[in-house]
Chain A
Amino acid sequence: MNEDKSNDIFIFPKWTGVLRPAVAVGALGGVLYAAVVVAFGFSPQATDVGYEPVQPVPYSHALHVGQLGMDCRYCHTGVEVAANALIPPSQTCMNCHKTVRANSEKLIPVFESYSTGMPVEWVRVHDLPDYVFFNHSAHVRRGVGCVSCHGRIDTMEIVSQQKPLSMGWCLDCHRNPEEHLRPADYVFQLDWVPEEDQLVLGARLREINDINPPQDCNTCHR
């Protein structure tokens, strides 16, 4: 008999009595923890919102759009007619900057690009995965304002991502487009506010323009 080998007897100390409530609390806490992880960890808020990369040229949308009142389409020429909104070539910048601030040090990459023909290496902010097909013209032409996906670009010194751009977020709008539809005239006016209730307006526009956003897989994953 092995208990004869020593005089000590092993026992657990009395404080281990806390184990039972601890297990109960731990189990409950585990469930809560899982709920929190699911609610926040997998929610759209945990995506790339707030992404604000440093650009090679400190281009300010707040200055150009907000103060000077340039139209989005002056630079992003593809937005109404093509899938891509397009980043302007340096030529577009030089239309003005040949004379305006032609000696600015901040603009050196633009001048270099203009003279060499190599594009400025802008960092893409709103970047969808490669397996997602998004068409700007399809949305813009049907009255989805720039602001719905990009936020108030006209107030941004540095462009940052304002919306999650997650699949669930896309689907929210494809299921309830009324919340984002506006008259074609105001698509590019970022600070536009509807005079009537947005849902009433949106429903009317949806009716008039026969807007039925598809939710099939192959709408976006072609």
Chain B
Amino acid sequence: MSTGNTTRSDRAALYGYLVAFDKVDELLVAAAAVRDAGYTRWDAHTPFVIHGLDVAMGVKKTVLPYIVFLAGLTGAAAGILLQWWTNAVDYPFLISGKPLFSLPANIPVAFETTILFAAISALVGMLALNGLPQLSHPLFSNRSFKRVTDDRFFISIEAQDPLFEVAKTRELLESVSDQPVEEIEELS
């Protein structure tokens, strides 16, 4: 991957900058600053969910609920159709004079298939929207980034961002954190 930016240095391809924070407050202030500077291809990395961070980063609400809703509807339809087709059409089978197809008797199974489809779509949809699994990523080559799943908070800005400029972006990050700004190289 090569960046088309004019301000790129000619060393090994740069993925972006990474800067660490020790405290939640610092991260929130910094995230709001990066957001207000207009960056779009950047991220915050935290060991756990920080609830104000979505606002501070300006993350748009995910479409996941709609996917799950549609999957749930599909599951309900699949459950009803399965029961109707198997018990009333393909092998109509009279048991104790009960109707071949009656909704009340078919609700429990339709309910379960609704939940099943919706739940699977919630997990698979979350992973797909997040682009996971992705085992290999430039950030993983940074040693201090290993603490992101432990007790450290990070902000990364990608070189691919249209506003990215080597000096200016570094300056912005240095202004919000007292820790050194690190360069992350693209995977070779």
Interface residue ranges, A against B (CB under 8 Å)? 3, 9, 11-17, 19-20, 23, 171
Contacts and interface: CB of A to CB of B under 8 A. Distances in A.
B176 to A, nearest CB: 25
A19 B91 CA distance: 43
Contacts of A12: 135-136, 140
A9 B139 CA distance: 12
Interface in B109-157: 131-136, 140-141, 143, 146
B133 A23 contact: yes
B136 A11 contact: yes
Contacts of B70: none
B143 A3 contact: yes
Interface of B is mostly: loop
Given A3-B146, A11-B141, A20-B131, 15 more contacts: A9-B146, A11-B136, A12-B135, A12-B136, A13-B136, A14-B136, A14-B188, A15-B136, A16-B135, A17-B134, A17-B136, A20-B132, A20-B133, A20-B134, A23-B133
Interface residues of B, number: 13
Contacts of B135: 12, 16-17, 19
Nearest to A16: B135
A130 to B, nearest CB: 24
A188 B135 CA distance: 70
A27 to B, nearest CB: 8
B28 to A, nearest CB: 26
A39 to B, nearest CB: 15
B187 interface: yes
Nearest to B144: A3
A16 B136 contact: yes
Interface in B168-188: 187-188
Which of B132, B136, B188 has the most A CB atoms < 10 Å from its CB?
B136
Contacts of A3: 143, 146
Nearest to B92: A215
B133 A9 contact: no
A19 B136 CA distance: 10
A141 B136 CA distance: 74
B1 to A, nearest CB: 11
Contact of B140 (A11, A15, A23): A11
20 contacts: A3-B143, A3-B146, A9-B141, A9-B143, A11-B136, A11-B141, A12-B135, A12-B136, A12-B140, A14-B136, A14-B187, A15-B136, A16-B135, A16-B136, A17-B134, A17-B136, A20-B132, A20-B133, A20-B134, A171-B91
Nearest to B133: A19
A15 B143 CA distance: 21
B142 to A, nearest CB: 8
Contacts of A14: 136, 187-188
A205 B134 CA distance: 68
A59 to B, nearest CB: 40
B5 to A, nearest CB: 22
B2 to A, nearest CB: 16
Contacts of B140: 11-12
A167 B50 CA distance: 60
Nearest to B188: A14
Contacts of A16: 135-136
Contacts of B146: 3, 9
Nearest to A23: B133
Contacts of B188: 14
A17 to B, nearest CB: 6
A15 B135 CA distance: 9
Enumerate the 8 nearest inter-chain pairs by beta-carbon distance, A residue then B residue, closest first: A12-B135, A16-B135, A12-B136, A16-B136, A14-B187, A11-B140, A14-B136, A19-B133
